[in-house]
A and B are shown apart, each in its own frame.
Chain A
Amino acid sequence: MSTIVLLAVTGLGLAALYFLVASGLSLVFGLADVLNFAHGLFLSVGAYATWWAADFMPVEAAVLVGVAAGVATAVLVELILIRPLYRRTIEQVLVTVGLSLAGVALLQSVFGADPRPFPRPTWVEGVVPVFGARIPADRFLLIGAALLVFVALAAFLRYTRYGLIVRAGVENREMVTALGIDVRKAFTLVFAIGGAAAALAGSLAGIYFTTVSPGTGGSLLIFAFIVVVIGGMGSVPGSAVAAILVALLQQFVNYYGGSGAGDVCVVALLAVVLLWRPKGLAKA
Chain B
Amino acid sequence: MILDVHELDVHLSGLHILQGVSFGVAPSGVTALLGRNGAGKTTTMRALVGLNPGTGRVLFDGADLAGKRTHERVQAGLGYVPEDRCVFAGLTVTENLRLAARGETDLDLVYNLFPELLKRGQQQAGSLSGGQQQMLALGRVLQNRNRLLLVDEPTKGLAPKVVTEVAEALERVGATVPVLLVEQNLAVVRRLAGTAVVLAAGSVAWTGDATHLLGDAELTTSLLGVGR
Contacts and interface: CB of A to CB of B under 8 A. Distances in A.
Given A167-B90, A178-B71, A178-B82, 19 more contacts: A164-B99, A168-B91, A171-B90, A172-B86, A174-B51, A174-B70, A175-B82, A176-B99, A178-B49, A178-B70, A178-B80, A178-B86, A179-B71, A180-B74, A180-B102, A180-B144, A181-B71, A181-B99, A182-B69
A183 B88 CA distance: 15
Kindly state the interface size class of chain B when it binds its partner: 20 to 34
Contacts of A180: 71, 74-75, 100, 102, 144
A89 interface: no
A148 B160 CA distance: 51
A182 B50 CA distance: 13
B70 A177 contact: yes
A165 interface: yes
Contacts of A182: 69, 71
A161 B91 CA distance: 13
B187 interface: no
Contacts, number: 54
B99 A177 contact: no
Interface in B89-121: 89-91, 95, 98-100, 102
A156 B102 CA distance: 21
B147 interface: no
B195 to A, nearest CB: 25
Contacts of A171: 88-91
Q: What 3 A-B pairs are tightest by C-beta distance, nearest first?
A: A180-B74, A177-B70, A179-B100
Contacts of A181: 71, 99
A222 B102 CA distance: 41
Contact of A177 (B69, B102, B144): B69
A180 B91 CA distance: 18
Interface in A19-68: none
Interface of A is mostly: helix
A174 B50 CA distance: 10
Contact of B140 (A161, A174, A179): A179
A158 to B, nearest CB: 9
Nearest to B103: A180
Given A164-B91, A165-B99, A175 B74 contact: no
Nearest to A181: B71
A269 B214 CA distance: 61
B82 A164 contact: no
Contacts of B91: 164, 167-168, 171
Nearest to B89: A171
Among the interface residues A179, A181, A182, which one has the most CB atoms of the partner chain B within 10 A?
A179
Contacts of B74: 177-180
B89 A179 contact: no
Contacts of A161: 98
Nearest to A164: B99
18 contacts: A164-B99, A165-B99, A167-B88, A168-B99, A171-B90, A171-B91, A175-B82, A175-B86, A177-B70, A177-B74, A178-B49, A178-B70, A178-B82, A179-B74, A179-B140, A179-B141, A180-B100, A182-B69
